[in-house]
Structures are given as C-alpha cells and as structure tokens.
Chain A
Amino acid sequence: MHIPDNYLSPSTCAAFGVVMIPVWKRTVAKVKKEITKKKMPMLGICSAFSFLIMMFNLPLPGGSTGHAVGAALIAILLGPYAATISVTIALVIQALFFSDGGILAIGANCFNMAFVMPFSAYYIYNFTRKMFRGKKGEKVAVLLAGYISLNLAAFCAAIEFGIQPILFKDATGAAMYCPYGLSAAIPSMVGSHLLVAGLIEAFVTLGVYSYVKKVDPNFIYQGSEVKSKPMYGLLIGMIVLCPIGLLATGTAWGEWAPEEVKDLVGFIPKGMEKGFNFNSIMPDYSMAGLSEAASYIISALAGVAIILIIFKILNSRRNRV
C-alpha cells in the first residue's frame, strides 16, 4: 500500500501533506502530555518495532506470502497517538532510506497508514469491546479492528488513485497520472485487501495481542475513558462519503443485477434468472422522488441503524444470560 512518487499528482501530494500537518501537531502535543518530553526518545524504539512488523512474512493460500502493516496492533498496544508518530517515522525511514513509498507521497501514505488506520482501529476496538463484553468480545474487537482498519486504509488509497484520472487530464483527455478511475481502483485495491491482506492483518493483530495480554497484561495501553463520539463521527463521515460510489460508473464489483451479468458474461446463469432476485426494501439504494445522492445517504443511515439494533439486541441477550 506504499504509494510511490508520480502515481499521484503533485497537487494531491501537497494537499495530503497539508492535511497531515495539524494531525502531526496534535499527536505530538498529545504524546508529550501522555509520556512527558523526557521519555520521547522511547518513541524511537516503538518506531523501530513498527518498522520491523512489516518484515514478518506469513503464508497465504497458494504458496505466496504477505505481511501485516501493524498500525492497528500498535494503536491497540500503545494508543493511537503514539501509533501515528511511530508509523510516520517508520514510513519516512522507508521512503528515505529504502525507497519504499515516495518522498512526495509521504503525506498521502501517512494519511492512509499512520492516521486513518491507527485511529479507526483504536475506535473500532473500543467501540466493539463495549458492545460485546467478555473475553470473546475482546477477541472479536481486536479482529475487527485489524480487518476493518486495513480495509479503510486501502479504501483511502484507492480513492487517492481513483480521483487522479478525474481531476488531472491533458489536452487530449488522457489521464496524466494513475490512469485508472474509481471504478477500477476501488475494486482492485479493496478487493485484494478484503480477501487477503485484511485477514493477515486481523490474524497478526489478534495473535500478538493475545500473546502480550497473556505474558504481560500491564503493557496494554489504557487511555483515558474513550468517548464513543469519534466513532459516531467516523460513521457520519462514511455515510456522507457514501455517494462517492455514484462517481464510479457501473455497479459495484459482485453486485450485478441479472441483466448486467448478461452483459458481462454473455448469458444469465440459470439460478439467477429464477427465484433468487430478492427484493430489498430499498432496491439499488434509490427511492422514488429523491435525488440519488440523498437516497444513498438515507440507505446508509438505515444500514447503520439496523446494525446498531442487531448489536444491541445481541448484547442485551448476552447480559441476561
């Protein structure tokens, strides 16, 4: 997921650099308060740790191997602010000394892996742990934190790639930087992370977390009482961003209607033609009399409400038992 230079336009890189400055400022201030200025050098060792996590290869089906990013793990073990700083330092060292990821793209890479990933992981972890109490809930929380945060980071990278051909074209209309739009970048980036990299991240995060918890439980970060507000902020942000899906031409990967399958494959699979056309309450996320973007947002809200209701019902049943 390390974006090299020249895949993104210089202006995109500059924009992400500007976005990251207040993030770095705030995290440095927060970390200074939490661990005092004197102990700052200890961050160096944490950064070394976050650099080295990426060196461990794990087997994948089919004989190849992959590695975890580790930002979710560090966020849970050391807190999201320390994670932002240590992953940033690890990324800068990779870009500057190992030419892994671009120099100009440092802002974008840090945004994906040192900001979106640790913070989303930390909030998902705390939020889920509150929802499901008990030991199993903790495990689920760690797994979800690793899995979802990596996919969110990949999604951000996909959007960064995908907006390039929309925003930057030469006189003939050909793309100047990464040539693939959202409709190609999102399925290929997110698809591979949903299926493979996300699982590795979740597995490593859970494995290491359980190990550390067993050997020395005092070492796990105990932040101030986490407010669920940022989690709701994240949810609202995602809901508002939902209509980005409209920018992508065609339907989402794997969500074809039977007619579209015909266009793609040349025939309608028999099973799909009959029976299996299940009418959802909001077919294709659109409702009569509403603009497409608005109905997207409303559908997303409905989805969130349904998920919250299911979670709360499950939780209350667990408490009664």
Chain B
Amino acid sequence: MFEKDEYIPKEDKVKFIDKSILAFLNILSVMKRKTSLGNGYVYSLNPVVKLGFTILIIIFLSLSRNFLFIWTVNVYLFLLLASLNGEKIKDILKVSIIVPIFTLVILIPSILAGNKLNSMMMLSKILGTIIAINMVSYTTRWTHLTKALKLMHIPDIFILVFDITLKYIYILGEFSLEMLYALKLRSVGVNNKKYGSITGIIGSLFLKSKDMAEEMYSAMECRGFSGEYSSNIKFKYTFKDFIYCILNILIIVLYFYIGRM
C-alpha cells in the first residue's frame, strides 16, 4: 500500500467530449456576456427600431441586384461596427467571418466555371447580412430583443416562452456541462462505454427538463399565473433613434433609386 504506483493510463479518444464541452462553454459565455453591455451609439438605440430596421436592411440587401447599393449598405454597417469598442468588434468579426469563408469555399467551382459576378454579389450580401444581425445580437439585451419581437405580431405568450427558453438554455447548459465534466473525469484510460454515456447524458437532460418544467409551472401557478401574459414595450425614443431612422430610411430610398437594377 505504501509503495508508489506508476500508473500511466492509456490514451483514449476524448476529442468529442472536449468538443461538446467547448460548444457548451461557448454558448454559456456568450449568454453571460449579454448581461454586461457597453456604452455607445449602437447600444443606446431603441431595440424595436434597431431590430425593425435591421430586418428591413437585410430584406433590401437580399432583393438588390446592384453592387453600388450592396456596398453602400456594407460600408454603412462597417461604420456602425467601427463605433463599437475593440473587443466587441473582434468578437463580432470572429463569428461573422465563418459563413462568408464557408460560402467562398463552396462557390469556388462555380467561380472557376465563370460565374464570377453573381458569386461575388452573393458573398457581399452574405457578409452584410451576417454583420447586421450579429451587431444587433451583440449590442442589445436579449430580453429586450424578445420584447421587440412583438413588432412582428408574435403573441405575448410566445414572447414569454422565448424568455423562458433563453433562461433555461443557460440553466440546462450548465447542468449538461457538469455531466460532461463528470464523464471526462471518470473516464481514465480507455473507456469503451463513453459513446453510450453521451446518449445517457442527453436522456438525463430530457428528464431533468421535464422535472424543471413541472416545477416551474407549479411555481408560476402558486404566484397566480393564469395563462394570460402581456408584455408591454416601454422603450424610450430619443434623438439618437431619430438619426438612426433617418439613416436607414435614406438607405431604403437609395434602394428604390439604384438598388433595384
């Protein structure tokens, strides 16, 4: 018993556990960051105005067949992006660059076959769209964004469901992360049952979700929840919003002048 033991566990493939852990950590860190927002022009905009105009810009970007218009919009989006602080810009660019690169790789055969113009147009549009939507997501409180969904005539009860989903993605995400850590710590050396354990973790997650759902429902009922829920939008409109509206309306007018071609 007192002898020193030289045990070197055999190497085993754990890459998929690490990757799952990373995926969860990524989601959790993105969600945690949302609680502390910075200050600046884009942050202080009214979420309803911001989301509404971003979706309009995305629609017109997608409809347009004119390079001048597409790049005017892209430059406008880059200028807005430049008004954020360095860390945020880095984060937004990091997540925004994946889809355009992926698209470029997919489009290579088509570009080689001679379809250059349209491929470039598709890439420019994708870049603009992704940056626009990431900018909204990174500079707005998510609970405000779900409230702004009311703009699209989404019923109040669904806005509540959205909020609950976001909260529980975090709670259940932490729960699954703990189970993944447990699996990783307990798999010393070669463990052939790991693959089955992943489905076990998902299964436990399902049962846990069901339990939590029941508990939450009871808690809500105890506090008088009757199935009716109304979310009121109480955002202030400021002078900044006014400027933002004017800028976006100018872009939409520009679409009708040159963008339709």
Q: B-contacting residues of A (Cβ < 8 Å)?
A: 4-7, 10, 13, 36-49, 51-53, 55-59, 63, 65, 73, 77, 89-90, 92-93, 95-99, 102-104, 170, 174-177, 179-180, 203-204, 206-208, 210-212, 215-216, 219
Contacts and interface: CB of A to CB of B under 8 A. Distances in A.
B162 interface: yes
B169 A93 contact: yes
A41 B118 contact: no
B62 A48 contact: no
A102 B17 CA distance: 28
Contact of B160 (A41, A93, A207): A41
B221 A48 contact: no
Contacts of A37: 157, 227
Given A56-B202, A208-B202, 8 more contacts: A41-B161, A44-B168, A48-B172, A49-B205, A174-B118, A207-B200, A207-B202, A219-B207
A203 B163 CA distance: 31
B104 interface: no
Contact of A55 (B13, B24, B55): B24
Secondary structure of the B contact surface, majority rule? helix
Given A41-B161, A104-B62, A49 B209 contact: yes
28 contacts: A4-B130, A5-B62, A6-B126, A7-B122, A13-B62, A36-B227, A42-B213, A44-B162, A44-B164, A45-B164, A45-B212, A46-B209, A46-B213, A48-B164, A48-B167, A52-B205, A56-B23, A57-B16, A58-B16, A93-B162, A98-B137, A103-B58, A104-B62, A179-B118, A180-B110, A204-B202, A207-B199, A212-B207
Given A40-B161, A49-B172, A55-B20, A98 B30 contact: yes
A240 B119 CA distance: 34
B40 to A, nearest CB: 20
B177 to A, nearest CB: 9
Given A42-B216, A175-B115, A48 B129 contact: no
A35 to B, nearest CB: 10
A156 B224 CA distance: 44
B105 interface: no
A51 B170 CA distance: 11
A270 B129 CA distance: 52
Given A6-B125, A65-B16, A219-B210, A44 B160 contact: yes
A10 B212 CA distance: 40
B85 interface: no
Nearest to B160: A41
B137 A97 contact: yes
Interface centre among A5, A98, A175 (most CB of B within 10 A): A5
Contacts, number: 211
Contacts of A65: 15-16, 19
Contacts of B162: 44, 89, 92-93
Contacts of A175: 110, 115, 118
Interface in B146-162: 157-158, 160-162
Nearest to B161: A44
B169 to A, nearest CB: 5
Contact of A99 (B133, B163, B198): B133
Contacts of B19: 57, 65
Interface centre among B15, B23, B115, B169 (most CB of A within 10 A): B169
Nearest to A56: B20
A71 to B, nearest CB: 14
A180 B103 CA distance: 13
Contact of A49 (B24, B158, B160, B206): B206
Contacts of A206: 199
B174 to A, nearest CB: 11
A207 B126 CA distance: 38
B226 interface: yes
B38 interface: no
Interface string B1-36: 000000000000101110110011001001000000
B49 interface: no
A208 B115 contact: no
B44 interface: no
A196 to B, nearest CB: 14
A29 B107 CA distance: 42
B220 interface: yes
Given A98-B137, A174-B115, A38 B226 contact: yes
Given A48-B168, A65-B19, A207-B203, A170 B118 contact: yes
A40 B117 contact: no
B213 A6 contact: no
A44 B59 contact: no
A215 B166 contact: no
B147 to A, nearest CB: 13
A319 B213 CA distance: 41
Given A5-B126, A6-B62, A174-B118, A52 B169 contact: yes
Contact of B157 (A40, A58, A63, A219): A40
Interface centre among B27, B96, B169, B199 (most CB of A within 10 A): B199
